[in-house]
Amino acid sequence: MSALRAKLDALIAQTSLEVSDKQRQQLVGYVELLHKWNKAYNLTSVRDPLEMLVKHILDSIVVSPHLRGERFIDVGTGPGLPGIPLAIMNPDKSFFLLDSLGKRIRFLKQVVHELGIHNVTPVQSRVEAFQPDENFDGVLSRAFASMTDMVEWCHHLPKTDHGVFLALKGQHPKDEIDQLPDWCSVTEIISLTVPELEGDRHLVILSRKE
């Protein structure tokens, strides 16, 4: 067994997540591709694949139990975070991964092809210009500058009746919450536990006010 797989198994064992052997293989395969392409494409500042398991994989998949619905979009996905790990964890849900940079989309297409991931659609577009055929149950973001920017730029993406914004944040973002526009409200803030990750992690769920 590879060192990456052993490390991933040890990390997952510290959570209550159920992850099949195939999913674990795909998650390790994704880290290997990220590490390989990172040398030329500079996709992430994290250089060590073992560190990627904590900071990218576990940090993404801990959100999995909180996904409600079938159709999601990861805006500003970068190299596919949290979209690729969440798609691997939820093969019955569909994920659109949106980024404006061509090199990132090329990488994502390669990942989807090599790992046999059938529920991901990479899209090269600026988020405010993207007009989907159908709106989304959840709009995910891990790297947006602020939640205000996220909801303003992505306001056209969630389903009008029950769609939500899911913002992955570090420490409790009280200042950002105070600055949200009037039409948007926080429905839940979930404290996330990521094994071996220093610092706080929170998932902020936002929706349109009724």
Model confidence at 107: pLDDT above 80: yes
**Residues flagged as binding site for S-adenosyl-L-methionine:** 76, 81, 127-128, 142
Range of the domain at 74: 3-208
pLDDT tens, 55-101?
999 999 999 999 999 999 999 999 999 999 999 999 999 999 999 99
| pLDDT the model gives residue 210 | 72
Structural domain total, the chain = 1
**Residues flagged as binding site:** 76, 81, 127-128, 142
Rounded CA separation 109/86 (Å): 16
172: CATH: 3.40.50.150
Q: What percent of the chain has pLDDT over 90?
A: 97
Rounded CA separation 177/150 (Å): 12
Rounded CA separation 43/116 (Å): 21
